[in-house]
Structure 1
Amino acid sequence: MPSPDHNPAFPAAQPGAAPESVRPAPVRVIAVASGKGGVGKTNVSVNLALSLQNAGQRTLLLDTDLGLANVDVMLGLSPRFTLADVLAGRCELRDTLLEGPGGMWIVPAASGKRHMTELLPQQHVGLVHAFSQLDVPIDTMVVDNAAGIADGVLTFCQAAQDVIVVVCDEPASVTDAYALIKVLSRDRGVSRVQILANQVQHAAEGRQLFDKLQRVTSKFLDVTLNYLGAIPRDEWLRRAVQRQEAVVDAFPSAPASAAFRDIARRAGQWQSPQGPRGHVEFFMERLIAQPSRSAAA
């Protein structure tokens, strides 16, 4: 793949401030997380991102499972550079970009690099800030997080406009999802969380999972939960994973594919960010640019 530096889709940054008319619009950032592993979170991230791309949203998929990354594996890609190389100073963030299916961009993380799971909080924040210099023409970024409540997960969720928590019908999944929501709410000020039920046998099962979480959070937490929908347990999804493809590409008529397209349609209707919220955020410069551009309009 040619370097983005030589790709006309990546215009070189010009010295000085950009004119108001060409400042890039804000990027909607959606973080996908889960309390425990094994609930299909990365599958959700990959298929949601590709569904958004196929719906006309220029999309970037960021893998922030820093020690056990697998977005590139799920899509059969071979990255030359990863976020580990960025943090080691071996390359710039833009050098990690891979072109994925449908033309969406992917920033891969490293797998089997233990030191990547031991980054300091300021390194997680620095990684978020690095995206302000990424002059890629995108509308939406989907962030695939590691499972659990590590500092990196909390920072990347806080830095997004919307957080999707993936749950499945296992007691540990629901319990750990509540723990994640509690920490995001109390420690990071996240006030709204989207709940996505995965691997459900029928539609009612997804709603029941949401109701379980809703009952507990409404009693003890100051956070709003929204039910985003459910992805059915689907043999075609398993076959797509074996083929190292997204199910929405490999088997577009599969039940899971239809569900992902519906989730992407709902996510595409969420309000775009209107300006900075006063804490760490992805693409901060694009958010700061908004008030002056609105005033000039």
Structure 2
Amino acid sequence: MPLPADSNASSHTTRAPVRVIAVASGKGGVGKTSVSVNLAMSLVHAGQRTLLLDTDLGLANVDVMLGLSPQFTLADVFAGRCELRDTLLEGPRGLWVVPAASGKRHMTELLPQQHIGLVHAFCELDLPIDVMVVDNAAGIADSVLTFCQAAQDVIVVVCDEPASVTDAYALIKVLSRERGVNRVQVLANQVANANEGRQLFEKLERVSSRFLDVTLHYLGAIPRDEWLRRAIQRQEAVVEAFPGSPSALAFREIARRARQWQSPQGPRGHVEFFMERLITQSANEPGHHDPLRSAVA
């Protein structure tokens, strides 16, 4: 698949740091992938050049939700049948998608160094993008922890089920204690009203502030919406299919808040997506010398 015409533009354009947002959840069934798809599409609508990466390596469905038919997936990359750039799909309005595989059990058994290798592979993906949204598998597998650690921002999706809140806390605890993630955005999904979403956050925040060294921020809530269900059946993002629906309006507001987050200023000293761009950005700052640059070169 040909890359966009400006992918060979000047390094100032193509090598700028990419803001990476990881979307995760403690348990499945909370609408995490729907959040990832609609957040990515909302960012595209707002003029952000966006890549949506599916890292639910064994049960991927981002491509299904967008009605796309991939020729290659991440399973082909790990098998050596193609390069990462060969998996790129162009979705609605120029959204770029890297699909994972579904029903490939061996993909859930990759080694930790293979997860890190995938993160590093993005250094060579010379796409002119502003932001990447990473749709993770549910739970606390090594892949989830690595991809969340490699992002600048982590969104944990919860819904009004006791197990959802309990498992979200477990995910946040492991991210904090094992991977040094000390800031998490919480998004309440499928809520009946705004108060329900706020209460879900406060329940999670109370126990986290008591036992964990992590700061939670309330990103907002997505209402339970029949139009969202219809959009999923149509294999479209609700912000595309029914832009005036309550859930579409909520997703656009979430994207507006996400655009206000600070862009990465340089590498943080651990595994990160687009590390080369972060090093270049940091080294180009006046008077700055980054020892990582010479180490990687």
Q: Return the TM-score normalized by structure 2.
A: 0.95
1:116-140 deviation line (CA, Å, top 9, x unaligned): 0000000000000000000000000
- SS of the equivalent of 2:53 reads strand
1:69 corresponds to which residue? 60
User: 2:117 aligned with 1:126, yes or no?
Assistant: yes
TM-superposed CA distance for 1:102, in Å, is: 1.4
2:203 corresponds to which residue? 212
Give the Cα–Cα distance (whole angstroms) in 2 for the partners of residues 267 and 121 of structure 1: 29
| Matched-pair contact (CA < 8 Å) for 1:49–1:59 | yes
| Matched-pair contact (CA < 8 Å) for 1:4–1:94 | no
- SS of the equivalent of 1:89 reads coil
Give the Cα–Cα distance (whole angstroms) in 1 for the partners of residues 287 and 77 of structure 2: 36
| Matched-pair contact (CA < 8 Å) for 1:69–1:108 | yes
Q: Root-mean-square deviation (CA), in Å?
A: 1.4
1:15 corresponds to which residue? none
Give the Cα–Cα distance (whole angstroms) in 2 for the partners of residues 71 and 22 of structure 1: 28
1:212-233 deviation line (CA, Å, top 9, x unaligned): 0010001100000000000000
1:58-86 deviation line (CA, Å, top 9, x unaligned): 00000000000000000110000000011
Give the Cα–Cα distance (whole angstroms) in 2 for the partners of residues 33 and 22 of structure 1: 30
1:11 corresponds to which residue? 8
User: 2:143 aligned with 1:152, yes or no?
Assistant: yes
- SS of the equivalent of 2:16 reads coil
- Structure 1 counterpart of 2:220, one-letter code: G
Unaligned ranges ≥5, structure 1: 13-17
2:295 corresponds to which residue? none
| Matched-pair contact (CA < 8 Å) for 2:119–2:147 | yes
- Structure 2 counterpart of 1:10, one-letter code: S
| Matched-pair contact (CA < 8 Å) for 2:14–2:128 | no
- SS of the equivalent of 2:257 reads helix
Give the Cα–Cα distance (whole angstroms) in 2 for the partners of residues 193 and 247 of structure 1: 25
| Matched-pair contact (CA < 8 Å) for 1:23–1:286 | no
1:223 corresponds to which residue? 214
Give the Cα–Cα distance (whole angstroms) in 1 for the partners of residues 87 and 131 of structure 2: 18
| Matched-pair contact (CA < 8 Å) for 1:4–1:10 | no
- SS of the equivalent of 2:174 reads helix
Identity rate, percent: 81
- Structure 2 counterpart of 1:11, one-letter code: N
1:244 corresponds to which residue? 235
Give the Cα–Cα distance (whole angstroms) in 2 for the partners of residues 118 and 239 of structure 1: 34
- SS of the equivalent of 2:261 reads coil
Question: Which residue among 149, 164, 167 is the counterpart of 2:155?
Answer: 164
1:139-175 deviation line (CA, Å, top 9, x unaligned): 0000000000000000000000000000000000000
TM-superposed CA distance for 1:8, in Å, is: 2.2
User: 2:84 aligned with 1:87, yes or no?
Assistant: no
1:58 corresponds to which residue? 49
Question: Which residue among 162, 170, 177 is the counterpart of 1:186?
Answer: 177
1:36 corresponds to which residue? 27
1:264 corresponds to which residue? 255
Unaligned ranges ≥5, structure 2: 289-297
The list of structure 1 runs, each at least 4 consecutive aligned residues, that deviate by more than 6 angstroms after superposition, is none
1:174 corresponds to which residue? 165
TM-superposed CA distance for 1:23, in Å, is: 6.0
TM-superposed CA distance for 1:293, in Å, is: 2.0
Give the Cα–Cα distance (whole angstroms) in 2 for the partners of residues 211 and 291 of structure 1: 37
User: 2:87 aligned with 1:96, yes or no?
Assistant: yes
TM-superposed CA distance for 1:11, in Å, is: 2.3
Q: Return the TM-score normalized by structure 1.
A: 0.95
Give the Cα–Cα distance (whole angstroms) in 1 for the partners of residues 284 and 93 of structure 2: 31
| Matched-pair contact (CA < 8 Å) for 1:50–1:248 | yes
1:25 corresponds to which residue? 16
- SS of the equivalent of 2:20 reads strand
User: 2:272 aligned with 1:274, yes or no?
Assistant: no
